[in-house]
Amino acid sequence: MRRRKAPPPAPLPQREGIDPVRVRLPADPEGAWATVLDHFLARYARAIGHERVRALFDEGRIVGVDGPVTAGEAYVPGRYLWFHRHFAAEERVPFEITVVHRDERLLIVDKPHFLATTPRGVHITETAVARLRRDLGLPLLQPAHRLDRLTAGLVLFVVRPEDRGAYQTMFRDRRVRKEYEALAPHDPRRVLPTTVRSRIVKEPGVLAAHEVDGEPNSETRIELVEHRGGVGRYRLLPTTGRTHQLRVHMNGIGLPLLNDPLYPTVRMQEPDAPDAYDRPLQLLAKVLEFSDPVTGGARRFESGLRLAQWPR
């Protein structure tokens, strides 16, 4: 099978820690796009408007390997083009990232609550990967996995592109032991430890996931570590990684996490609703443990963060 050639390196530098958008012009069997502008209008005008698309060309911001591209240039299938998206002003998440470990291959950090791992939706420049690229001077840095925006704790980033596949595959194949800490109400009637297995569905455009009948696609072991003042401190050990899995499973056994804006009741109606910085979700990615796929050595990292609502 013939492999597609790797794309050429981007002729534009990162901006605010964000890579330029790369576009490979697709085949056009019906001849709908006589010029590059025609294709960009068809592709982006609905999202950003005709005027902004034309402005990208007028300002020389659409770039090919040989330099800026004009709106009237003929459409050539397979050609690579790059541009920087428009970054709307973002409120800075008022918490810092802490480096837990750094070497020539790996960067392990404690991500704070409310900071997204990677760009998505309205969170672009205020993300962990963008901040770390800027602050540490590591433009090639990439996460090997993701942590929910509202969850704090350990995230593993890969420093060198040639190592990325090995570490991403390790997470994909579930060869990483993950341990979370959570705070939720204490119910003495609830028999723990227990293992929850269920089928979780997350529908596009719906904020909360939910459990349905059918073959389980998620599994979490739940242990009570201690309790104080009506609050339990729980150890959560997932063997799968469905969206909102830990939150759904804790809610499903009647122990919703403290300050959860989605479970059991959706209290934030829009994805871009203002964050309640004084009420972070009480969920922490506490431990990452694995056999290093590059060196073969045993690795174990533990978060230095603590959940704020544990009674003192």
Q: What is the pTM of this model?
A: 0.89
pLDDT at 77 over 80: yes
- How far apart CA 281 and CA 88 sit, in angstroms, is 26
121 sits in the region (left: phi over 0; alpha: psi -120 to 50; else beta) called: left
Instruction: Convert the pLDDT of each residue in 144-199 to its tens digit.
Output: 999 999 999 999 999 999 999 999 999 999 999 999 999 999 999 999 999 999 99
- Which residue, among 225, 253, 251, 221, has the nearest Cα to 239 in the 3D structure? 221
Phi-psi map region of 96: left, alpha, beta (phi>0 left; psi -120 to 50 alpha): beta
CA–CA gap between residue 141 and residue 129 (Å, rounded): 7
Strand-pair category, 218-228 with 231-238: antiparallel
pLDDT band at 273 (very low <50, low <70, confident <90, very high): low
- Can you tell me whether residue 66 is helix, strand or coil? coil
How far is the C-alpha of 192 from the C-alpha of 234, rounded, in Å? 10
198-236, pLDDT tens digit by residue? 999 999 888 899 999 999 999 999 999 999 999 999 999
- pLDDT score at 191: 94
Domains and CATH numbers, the chain: 21-83 (no CATH), 98-302 (3.30.2350.10)
Distances from the Cα of 150 to the Cα of 223, 247, 291, angstroms: 22, 11, 28
**pLDDT on residue 3:** 63
